[in-house]
Structure 1
Amino acid sequence: MHSSYFICYGIEASLLKCHYYTSSCGYSYHAGVECESPCIEGSVRLEGDDRYEEFGRVEVCINGTWGTICDNGWDNNDASVVCRQLGYSPYGAIAKTSYFTENWLPFHLYSVNCSGNESTLLNCSYSTTGSCYNTQDAGAICQGVGIAHNNCTDYAVRLVDGATTKEGIAQICLNRVWGTFCSKENHYFYRVDANLICRELGYNGSGMTYFVESSSVDVLLVADMSCSQSATSIKQCNLTHYTKLSRCDARHTAAVRCHNCTEGSVRLIPYDSYFEDVGRVEVCVDGSWGSICYHHFTDNDAQVVCKHLGYTALGSISLGRLRYYNVIPLHIVNLNCTGNEESIWDCPSSTQGQESCTVYSDASAACH
């Protein structure tokens, strides 16, 4: 081992022109380099995961070297141009920010502003100076060149291939492409907010997710959908866009069933979709479905719920709480039935103590 430590500035003509000094160094610490040929001016590429070429950090060749793009203002129009330049479809292209970030490449472009119709990225408006943190690398997810496209509006949703107009495979429009949602039963990731989708479609009740396999899926667009309880639009949700790194496929396509509710109605939402008579208890109040807190939900309460739904009281029991991943409003906290009532609305109840009933505190029942 001759020279163990080098200090170079990158402008030296040879390695020995750098500052260096010798010191002991184990053979397991051999230094290495990876050299690249000069790139073609204006070329772009996607870097991130070596197994896939259709998504990653956007790099652009300027003055013979690769560099990144500051993601300030980066949007789907910009991503469309990158994808078109790389031979992919401009439709369904998704702009990503802080995507597959690195810390060694310079920023070549700032404030990129494409209309989406340009043939190359350098035909867009941009600046070569600006300020950006080294984690703000712009990225893109591209779709295959043959993907079907539509003049749909971003974040519009629809239900297709259902038995009725109130149900079907859930699709979302992103950059003029309709695509589906991934969803897995009782999985913290790969969630779909069925309630919000149904509200977007004009239903005043809630919705539930079920699962289908679809051989006709053109494209999966969303791997996970995380919305706050205060969200009124899908635009306000955090969407994790689908790539081949997502652990879902057409076997995990989400479908949604929407419900309008009648004031005072009661229903059971099946747990894991196994049994119609076992599930979360939901009540319709002020035009929306909501839950009952499980803290004081006893077998007496469950028996009245089941009688209300047409089952017998005998053998009907409270299951406490079952964990559901779609969050709905809490309508009743303290339900106090004797078991003799015919309807839960004949039972004393209150909304006091809501602070003790957190998310996933919904009462469930098994009817007989």
Structure 2
Amino acid sequence: MKLTCSDSVRLVNGTSLCSGRLEVKSEQSWSSVCEADFDQQDAEVVCRELGCGAPSVLQGALYGEVEAPMWTKEFQCGGHESALLDCGRSDSARSTCSPGKAVGLTCSEPVRLVGGASRCAGTLEVKRGEWRPVKYSDWNLRDYSWSLKEAAVVCRDLDCGSAVSTGSTNEASDRSVWWIRSDCVHSGSPLRECALSSSSSSSSIVELTCSGKSISDIIYDSNIFARSGVLDSEA
């Protein structure tokens, strides 16, 4: 069972560290939440509390049916709170939750590309407490070098297809940067779990470009093009 949690909320049975069925902890026990008592602003708070990106999907029964006990309050978050239990609450009108109506939540991975021509190109930044750019390489440390293999993981996490190119740009600032361990990335760990702090103030920063299409879309387009070529040659 995949599990992501804080002291008071968790996502269970998800397909990644930032997805799953929402459960809330109260008096040492975990309770499922009914979809009718939860909205987009509440989801924003949960994703932030878990260190994930913005909510991308909020839908009941995505990650299993509701499990007892049930949370008996309706959340009233403003969206700016740092923890779900900091939000206002009122008594729920429901004592049970219909099948298929337990909150299933998918937050985006805390990875982004900024400053490019599209959301699938630009300077790589990873959030682990705070957003920081990623250092490109260190000639002394092979395990901290960046290549298309690492770029492919980012493109996949962002649903941006395949990696087209990767390079670096020099950035002189007071911002801290992340090192990303290549061996950690290749082990299948989330990018944020492979990030180590570096206080370098002038760094070679990762820039990358993804195809902007899923691999299946690329294969489909290629097949259409190939068939078109065959048909043209036979005409």
TM range (shorter): 0.3 to 0.5
Larger Rg: 1
Structure showing greater relative contact order (alpha-carbon pairs closer than 8 Å, 6 or more residues apart): 2
Using the size of structure 2 for normalisation, the TM-score is 0.47
